[in-house]
Amino acid sequence: MSASSPFADRFILVTGASGFVGEHLVRRLVRRHSAVAGTFLSNPVSIDGVVTVPLDATDGPAFSRLIRDMRPAAIVHCAAQTNTNWCEDNPHEARLAIVNATANLVTAVFERAPDTPVIAFSTDLVFDGQSAPYVEDAAPGPLNAYGKLKLEAEPLILTLPRGMVLRSALVYGPPTSRRDSFLSWMVKQLANWDDLGLFEDEWRTPVFVDDLEDAVWRLLTVPAAEQSGIFHAGGPDRLSRIEMGRRLAEVFGLPEQPIRALLRSDVHRGHLRASDVSLSCGRLRAVQWNPTSFDNGLQECLRRWSALRSTS
């Protein structure tokens, strides 16, 4: 256990450890604190040093039993359905996975361990894209079902004495054992010289997945009186989708020719897309959180990809 860990031998519990963010998170947290546990729903995951347990977060009694038995020192809630199109097409199931699961967590914490610090991930898509960059107290106005459900879940977390909502920007990083980020798709398309259509009128502040773990750790280790409210986690670069693709091609040494500019209006799925949900991250910056530039994050992704290929 790291000498800097304030949690003694009690577990930090991460829900959704088989997801992209969740797996990256537990793999890095266990380097700081030896007692880390992660939950999974239908995809068992094996991670060195991490205790993994099954959990259906939509099952309230099961959530309560887990909190009772584990007595975690802190909880990070990553489990959710993050496919925005799926949420549009499956509203009932999406509500169960996002809102009901969060309500079950909050109920379990109030019943079993009300003073536990809890961080729940939310999204930059709670905003409508008309007034970026968005500070933490900016008025939300989500356009799609995913953003609306995440926004509905936020105040549930904020009822907890030490409840924190971490609104994440678009997350990128190297693939995990089970999940890819959007970078993997772009790398594959470019490497195969396949057409890669990317929006030139949609902007985000992409955040390197390692920086999310650093944000979580900083929030878990600030004084208890500061462990409440909404925090934004976005990278330092405001980029369009097509700018991301071009920078990826340059850093990875891939052809840029397959990249084709798209407009949001070119894609007709009946699902609205916000134009610019760039985040301003003043509250995290105040605790010395310094996110990685997109180019440096890409360089680190390339290094890890290369290391994986050399050992496979």
* Residue 232's pLDDT band (cuts 50, 70, 90): very high
Q: Please compute the mean of the pLDDT values over residues 61-68 and round it to a whole number.
A: 92
Q: Which residues contact 290 (CB under 8 A, 6 or more apart)?
A: none
Tokens standing for residue 290 = 């310094």
pLDDT for 118 beyond 80: yes
Lookup: tokens for 260: 């084709």
Q: What local confidence, expressed as pLDDT, does residue 309 receive?
A: 63
> Residue 71: which residues within 8 A CB-CB, separation 6 or more?
10, 11, 112, 113
How confident is residue 1, by pLDDT bands cut at 50, 70 and 90? very low
Report the distance separating Cα 225 and Cα 110, nearest Å. 18
The per-residue pLDDT of the chain, averaged, comes to 90
Does position 103 have pLDDT exceeding 80, yes or no? yes
Rg (CA), the chain: 19
Mean pLDDT computed over 210-234:
94
The predicted pLDDT at position 269 comes to: 63
Per-residue confidence (pLDDT) for residue 311, from 0 to 100: 55
pLDDT range class, residue 130, cuts 50, 70, 90: very high
Residue 126 has pLDDT above 50, yes or no: yes
DSSP string covering 106-166, please? HHHHHHH-TT--EEEEEEGGGS-SSSPSBPTTSPP---SHHHHHHHHHHHHHHTSTTEEEE
Query: How far apart are alpha carbons 152 and 150 in whole angstroms?
Result: 5
Confidence grade of residue 46 (pLDDT, cut at 50, 70, 90): confident
C-alpha torsion sign, points 283, 284, 286, 291: negative
Percent of the chain having pLDDT more than 70?
A: 95
The pTM score is: 0.92
pLDDT at 8: 61
Instruction: Examine the pLDDT at 205 and tell me if it is beyond 60.
Output: yes
The whole-number average pLDDT for the span 217-225 is: 93
Q: pLDDT of 146-189, one tens digit each?
A: 999 999 999 999 999 999 999 999 999 988 777 777 888 899 99
Q: What's the pLDDT tens digit per position in 247-261?
A: 999 999 999 999 999
Domains of the chain are 12-176+206-236+277-293 (3.40.50.720)
Pair 37, 102: CB distance under 8 Å: no
Please classify residue 190 by burial: count the beta carbons closer than 10 Å to its beta carbon, then call 0-12 exposed, 13-18 middle and 19+ buried: buried
